[in-house]
Amino acid sequence: MILDRTAVILCVDDEENALTLRKRVLQKAGYEVLTALSGTEALEILRSRRVDLVLTDHLMPGITGIELARQVKSQHSEIPVVLLSGVNEIPIGADVADAFLSKVEGPDSLCEKVAVVLNRS
Amino acid sequence: MTPHEPVNILMVDDQIGKLLTYETILAPLGENLLRANSGREALESLLKTDVAVVLMDVSMPDIDGFQLADMIREHPRFDTTAIIFISAVHLTDVDRLKGYARGAVDYISVPIIPELLRAKVSVFAELYRKNKQLERLNLELEHRVAERTRELQDSEIQFRSLANSIPQLVWMAHADGSVFWYNQRWYDYTGTTVDQMKGLGWSSLVDQDHVARVAEGIQRSWSTGEPWEDTFPLRGKDGTYRWFLSRALPIRDASGHVARWFGTNTDITERKQAEDALVKSERLAAMGRLAGIIAHEINNPLEAISNAVYLLQDHSSLDEEARLYTQLANKEIARLAHITKQTLSFYRESHRPVTLSLSEILDNVIELQSRRLQLNSITVDKRYRTSGTIQGFPGELKQVFLNIIGNAVQAMPEGGRLRIQLFPSKERRTGRQGVRVSIHDTGMGIPVEHARQIFEPFFTTKETKGTGIGLWISKGIIQKYDGTIRFRSMRLKQGYGTCFSVFIPAVMATQSNESAAEMIAGGRTL
């Protein structure tokens, strides 16, 4: 999708430091970033805010990233989801998300992946 | 002969009246009474039957009693036949009787006292019966001895052929522990001679590091009579040592004393190697699990640091020196990321293999490498002629291909072509059916001197960048699938070419029918 405005990314992670830094990286890349510390919080935000992409950590207490992706897809099928994980493995069931990215790939890869997925949808 | 079986009594007299009288007197004894009218008749009767007692008149017309007795005695068969002469007592007769020193001889004087005749005949008959029984028992005994001897010989032969046919080294020792016999296999293995092995000769073959313990243990058994067991290397005739499990059991006599020792040495070299390898691989698996956990735990903070440095490096407040520091930090972060990637799923993530497609795994790996492929301007040429559906563990297979493809990408910093082929294949050496993945690069090639070490642990050409375990782990993983991994590196028209080829046999692989054309994806730059 080609947006005539700044794309809004909802960034989800239970670790606050990581979340803040990731938000800054994405902001630097020119995105508007919303953050949520849990899947539940993310789903709440999605109800009230317009979001162009969800970027979520996989391993979180409560709702996992994959579970969140599944719920996003069932409620807002048009919103792409990028799954991020510290596990280098692509977890089973990750195909519900539009893309998977290992955390070790670094900020450049992250921004690229986000851009690719946004352009695709 | 049963104790009361009747015996033959031969009565010899030329007068029928006397014979009838003897018959009447002897009838109550219950023996068989035979009559002979003359010496000649008596001899005939003796030759035909076994006679216990000959009762005869001394004076007979053709052959007299003494002549008959001489004839009887000449024949060894009649050694034990008792002779009772009936005669009037003359001194001369008594003297002659003494001549028959051998055998039982007696006489009865006339007139005959019936009780006396009965008593004498009865004694001799009984004696004969007893002798016969004794003879029979003797014969039986001899038979039994012969049989037992034969059995022993047989069992000795059987024992020796058994002892020589089993794979173990077998030996026997006296109660004091001095070995007196080894089987052929012992001599074949050790290349020693009977003389060299006398007594404690065996101890010279035990590995020096073990000989003291072995000698002490075996000595303890000799003195306590307890079974002995130990494992140690034993030198073969070629000078190399193999591991043996050695045991000695005491053989006790009827009174419970140790009569001898029976020992075996079983070659356990292969088992020991397998056990050692298992221990090693288990240790490695545990290490891998730990490494996986640590890598995961590191990845999270690593991302945060990586993002922080990324944000910092372009920060307006940084002077040149500070920017240099962030660059150095970035390099080290990249190295850290590489290490944690290397350790990913060094172990199987679940106990059950799943149905997976190698083409998907390869696509996945290419996806993970996409950034670097693009940075290095590498063309990817995928040629899949099968989906490569197999039973396996996706994580570890992905690791294998991530490793090979990652190496290929690193070998082409100035760009090049990466060709990835997936096709049904038959292994030339074994004829096994399966799937093959081949990964070609046009990179810098692998020097011949590295060829032998490339699959060894901690071998790396990447200096500080590599951990040196990637290909070693990959090989280990492919071996778990009973597959093979090999490579070829050669000079091309321009530069070099390296091809890594992974074969996974059909036991794990299931062929699919997808059309080859559909699967071929032409060269494209990712």
Range from B188-202, B215-229, B278-292, B495-509 carrying the lowest mean pLDDT: B278-292
Task: For residue B349, name the pLDDT band (cuts at 50, 70, 90).
Answer: very low
Q: Is residue A3 part of a domain?
A: no
Report pLDDT for B391.
87
> Is residue A58 assigned to a domain?
yes
Sheet holding B354-357, edge to edge: B354-357, B389-392, B509-510
- Residues B375 and B519 sit within 8 Å (Cβ to Cβ): no
Q: Which of B425, B435, B411, B394 lies closest to B498 in space, CA to CA? A: B411
Number of domains in chain A: 1
Furthest C-alpha separation in chain A: 36
pLDDT at residue B513, rounded to an integer: 35
pLDDT of residue B459: 64
pLDDT the model gives residue B462: 60
Q: Do B371 and A102 touch (CB under 8 A)?
A: no
CB contact under 8 A, A88 and B304: no
- Residues B85-94 have pLDDT tens digits of 887 656 566 6
Q: Do A90 and B364 touch (CB under 8 A)?
A: yes
Query: Is B300's CB within 8 Å of A88's CB?
Result: no
What 3-state DSSP class applies to B26? helix
A76 lies in some domain = yes
Q: Provide mean pLDDT across the span A42-54.
A: 95
Residue A30 contacts B, CB cutoff 8 Å: no
Q: Give mean pLDDT, residues A13-23.
A: 94
Q: What is the DSSP string of A9-71?
A: EEEE-S-HHHHHHHHHHHHHTT-EEEEESSHHHHHHHHHHS--SEEEEES--SSS-HHHHHHH
CATH code of the domain made up of B166-267 = 3.30.450.20
Q: Which two tokens stand for residue B477?
A: 């993983």
Predicted confidence (pLDDT) at residue B509 exceeds the cutoff of 60: no
Do the beta carbons of residue B32 and residue B9 sit within 8 Å?
yes
Which residues of chain A are within 8 Å of residue B296 when distances are taken between CB atoms? 86-88
Minimum distance, in Å, between the CA of residue B492 and any CA atom of chain A: 33
> What's residue B40's pLDDT?
85
Is the pLDDT at B523 greater than 60? The verdict is: no
Query: Class of the B8-138 domain?
Result: alpha beta
pLDDT number for residue B312: 92
Residue A9: band (very low, low, confident or very high) from pLDDT cuts 50, 70, 90: very high
Q: Taking CB atoms and an 8 Å cutoff, what residues of chain B touch A24?
A: 307, 311
Percentage of chain B beyond pLDDT 90 is 25
Domain of A75, in residue numbers = 8-120
pLDDT value, residue B179: 87
Identity of the residue in A15, A28, A88 whose CB atom sits nearest the CB atom of B300: A15
At residue B458 the predicted structure's pLDDT band, cuts being 50, 70 and 90, is low
- Is the pLDDT at B359 greater than 90? The verdict is yes
Taking residue B225's Cβ as centre, other Cβ atoms within 10 Å add up to 13
**pLDDT tier for residue B522 given thresholds of 50, 70 and 90:** very low
pLDDT computed for residue B164 by the predictor: 81
CA torsion B125→B127→B130→B132, rounded to 10°? -70
Mean pLDDT, rounded, for B29-50: 88
Contact B310 A25 (CB under 8 A): yes
What is the residue extent of each domain of chain B?
8-138, 166-267, 269-347, 352-525
Say if the Cβ atoms of A102 and B308 lie within 8 Å: no
Who wins on pLDDT, B371 or B485?
A: B485
Give residue A56's pLDDT.
96
Are the C-beta atoms of B371 and A112 separated by less than 8 Å? yes
Q: Is 80 exceeded by the pLDDT of residue B8?
A: yes
Q: Note whether residue A92 is domain-resident.
A: yes
CA-based nearest residue to B359, from B403, B394, B396, B411: B394
For domain B269-347, the question of CATH label 3.90.480 is answered with no
Interface with A, mutate which of B299, B300, B330, B400 (most A CBs under 10 A)? B300
Q: Is the pLDDT of residue B469 over 70?
A: no
| Neighbouring residues of B397: CB distance < 8 A, sequence distance ≥ 6 | B356, B358, B361, B477
pLDDT of residue B411 exceeding 50? yes
Confidence of residue A53 (pLDDT cuts 50, 70, 90): very high
Average pLDDT, chain B: 82
The residues near B448 (Cβ < 8 Å, ≥ 6 apart) are none
**Tens digits of residue pLDDT in B150-192:** 888 888 888 888 888 888 899 988 888 888 889 989 999 999 8
User: Which of B297, B304, B368 is the closest to A21 by Cβ?
Assistant: B304
- Residue of A88, A90, A102, A120 to mutate for B, most B C-beta atoms under 10 A: A88
Provide ipTM, 2 decimals. Answer: 0.89
Q: Report whether pLDDT(B510) > 60.
A: no
| H or E element at residue B482 | none
Q: Mean of the pLDDT values across residues A86-107?
A: 81
The answer to whether A28 contacts chain B (CB < 8 Å) is: yes
Q: What is the per-residue pLDDT for B159?
A: 82
pLDDT at B350 > cutoff 60: no
CATH topology of domain B352-525: Heat Shock Protein 90 (3.30.565)
Label residue A23 by pLDDT band (50, 70, 90).
very high
pLDDT at A22 over 90: yes
**Mean pLDDT, range A37-42, rounded to an integer:** 95
In this complex, is the C-beta atom of A61 within 8 Å of any C-beta atom belonging to chain B? no
Q: What is the CATH number of the domain that holds A68?
A: 3.40.50.2300
Domain-located, residue A1: no
CA–CA min distance A1, chain B (Å): 21
Which residue of B lies nearest to A100 if distances are taken between CA atoms?
A: B368
In percent, how much of chain A has pLDDT > 90? Answer: 68
| The predicted structure's pLDDT at residue B264 | 92
Q: What is the pLDDT of residue B514?
A: 34
pLDDT of A64 over the 70 cut? yes
A86 closest CB neighbour out of B299, B308, B349: B299
Q: Which of A10-19, A32-41, B59-68, B307-316 has the lowest mean pLDDT?
A: B59-68
What average pLDDT does the segment B118-133 reach? 88
Q: Give the model's confidence band at B247: pLDDT under 50 very low, under 70 low, under 90 confident, else very high.
A: very high
| pLDDT digits 0-9 by tens, B480-507 | 888 999 888 888 777 788 999 999 987 6
